[in-house]
Amino acid sequence: MNVELYERIWMWAAAALLAVFLGVIFLMAGLHAVQPPSHIETVDPTALSSHPEFANPTATSRRDGSVVVSVVAQMFSFNPDAIEVPANRPVTFRITSADVLHGFQVVGTNANAMAVPGYVSQFTVTFREPGQYVITCNEYCGLLHHNMVGKLIVTKGAP
């Protein structure tokens, strides 16, 4: 079979482009430590107000210095707000939603998860830089979606 030279060039160019795009995806996923959701835990979204953890979501310190933060997202706020955690300590977020799908993104970090009604999204991050961070909802959740912001305060923890 004879393939025209120009056709061959374009076929290889298209293949090379695909390889570059795939490479960029894997490179950026690696650089930003992007991971697929791996925690499966269910919770009744209609009974959060009587749930032992999510009725009063808060930040709790463990004996080893790490922190667990329970968060309930609902139209159009995060509870608790503000969230205060120490720097340089592993912080485990446990996030759920009381109504619809929300996002939970700590701007300027790779802390980013969906808040899904019925499920607990969990991930652990360590914040190196003390300061104030903005938490945004990055899933469209209703008319005031753009107002759904929270505050994260990272205090100077132990070095």
Name the site residues for ligand CUA (rule: CB under 6 A): 76, 102, 137, 139-141, 145, 148
Could you tell me the smallest distance in angstroms from the CB atom of residue 11 to ligand CUA?
43
Q: Distance between CA atoms of 5 and 33, rounded to whole angstroms?
A: 42
Instruction: Confirm if 126 and 43 have CB atoms less than 8 A apart.
Output: no
Could you tell me the smallest distance in angstroms from the CB atom of residue 78 to ligand CUA?
9
> How many other β-carbons are positioned within 10 Å of the β-carbon of residue 122?
18
> How many other β-carbons are positioned within 10 Å of the β-carbon of residue 145?
17
Q: Distance between CA atoms of 29 and 34, rounded to whole angstroms?
A: 5
The candidate with the shortest Cα–Cα distance to 85, out of 114, 127, 51, 56, is 127
Could you tell me the smallest distance in angstroms from the CB atom of residue 96 to ligand CUA?
13
Could you tell me the smallest distance in angstroms from the CB atom of residue 146 to ligand CUA?
8
